[in-house]
Amino acid sequence: MTDAAGATPPVATEAGAAAPAAERGPGEAHRHHVHAAVGETKVHVQGLNFWYGDFNALTDITVDIKSRAVTAFIGPSGCGKSTFLRCMNRMNDLIPGTRVEGTMLLDGADIYGPGVDPVDLRRRVGMIFQQPNPFPQSIYDNVAYGPRLQGLKRKADLDAIVEESLRRANLWKEVKDILGRGGLTLSGGQQQRLCIARVLAVQPEVLLMDEPCSAIDPTSVQKIEDLMAEIKDEVTIVIVTHNMQQAARVSDFTAFFLQEVAGEPAVLVEYGRTSEIFTSPSDKRTEDYITGRFG
């Protein structure tokens, strides 16, 4: 099961769209803060509660997402994994009647602070969804979209960023001779990598991936797992997956969410190094889930 909001995100949030060129040049957003180093905390979450109207979907979540590593979010359907991801780039703001309480800091600065521009936040914290959603434009224009919004105009600069982003997304070889073709003419797995290239083109610091591989072919899954390993030195990755083998393969850290009773809020049962969670979980519920006894 997936959520409708995840499948059809508003366009403005998707490519890491930024403020108009007149307001700032490319890279300016990077000047205002210090990026966390490897192993440091990138996103600090303390006592986070989230409500959809009266429904308390997440309760008292405390977790530190480590910088430049892959963190997997696992747990049964409906336990709030997508909700939590959307808290991290404030996409839940777009859903009427929602409310967040508690602390969520990106590089030490409050994600929900008064001076935060959600559009700039979404460039820094990019998102990939279960269903690939390229714009109805050429492959080239999909990737150039964000950099253009940031004010990049010179063709040579755009060409370079499009190529580099497509290379990092493990798609360049397949599309280098058809850059003018529509993004929607690609296969599903290629479209997903195109969406990854589109996000990477605006140099996100965090990449949120909500079940990015559950609707695509195995070859593309392999390519996406490979690219995650290649970019994680630079980008902090959080991936939601229902595939335990995938979580074990790609992640350094794992967080297990659980809603024990329908209608009751979900909690973060256990969080730690993936090697430990998968070999010696400290909570029986985690063990039951990863060994397939429920969920």
Ligand X SMILES: Nc1ncnc2c1ncn2[C@@H]1O[C@H](COP(=O)(O)OP(=O)(O)OP(=O)(O)O)[C@@H](O)[C@H]1O
Positions that interact with Mg ion (CB under 5 A): 82
Our finding on whether 57 is near ligand X (CB under 6 A) is yes
The CB-of-204 to Mg ion minimum distance in angstroms stands at 20
Cα–chain center distance at 2? 15
Our finding on whether 82 is near ligand X (CB under 6 A) is yes
* Residue 268 near which of Mg ion, ligand X, none (CB within 5-8 Å, type-dependent): none
For 291, which DSSP code?
Answer: T
Residue type, 295: G
Can you tell me which of 51, 52, 112, 172 binds ligand X, judged by CB under 6 A? 52
Residue/partner pairs of 222-225 with CB below 8 Å, 24 or more apart: 223/170, 223/171, 223/189, 223/193, 224/170, 224/189, 224/192, 224/193, 224/196, 225/249, 225/250
**Of residues 1 and 37, the one with the C-beta less far from ligand X:** 1
The CB-of-56 to Mg ion minimum distance in angstroms stands at 17
The CB-of-174 to ligand X minimum distance in angstroms stands at 29
Can you tell me which of 44, 66, 81, 90 binds ligand X, judged by CB under 6 A? 81
Q: Are 281 and 250 in contact (CB under 8 A)?
A: no
Can you tell me which of 83, 133, 165, 191 binds ligand X, judged by CB under 6 A? 83
Our finding on whether 135 is near ligand X (CB under 6 A) is no
The CA distance from 237 to 228, in Å, is 8
Alpha helices, DSSP H, located in 32-109: 81-88
The CB-of-282 to Mg ion minimum distance in angstroms stands at 25
Span interacting with ligand X, options 72-80, 148-156, 165-173, 223-231, rule CB under 6 A: 72-80
Q: Are 212 and 130 in contact (CB under 8 A)?
A: yes
Our finding on whether 2 is near ligand X (CB under 6 A) is yes
Entry field: residues in the chain = 295
* Residue 112 near which of Mg ion, ligand X, none (CB within 5-8 Å, type-dependent): none
Our finding on whether 5 is near ligand X (CB under 6 A) is yes
* Footprint (CB under 6 A) of ligand X, residues 214-253: none
Of 127, 120, 175, the C-alpha closest to 149 is 120
Our finding on whether 7 is near ligand X (CB under 6 A) is no
The CA distance from 295 to 288, in Å, is 9
Our finding on whether 77 is near ligand X (CB under 6 A) is yes
The CB-of-166 to ligand X minimum distance in angstroms stands at 28
Give the H or E element holding residue 48. Answer: strand 41-52
What residues line the site for ligand X (CB under 6 A)?
1-3, 5, 52, 55, 57, 75, 77-83, 95
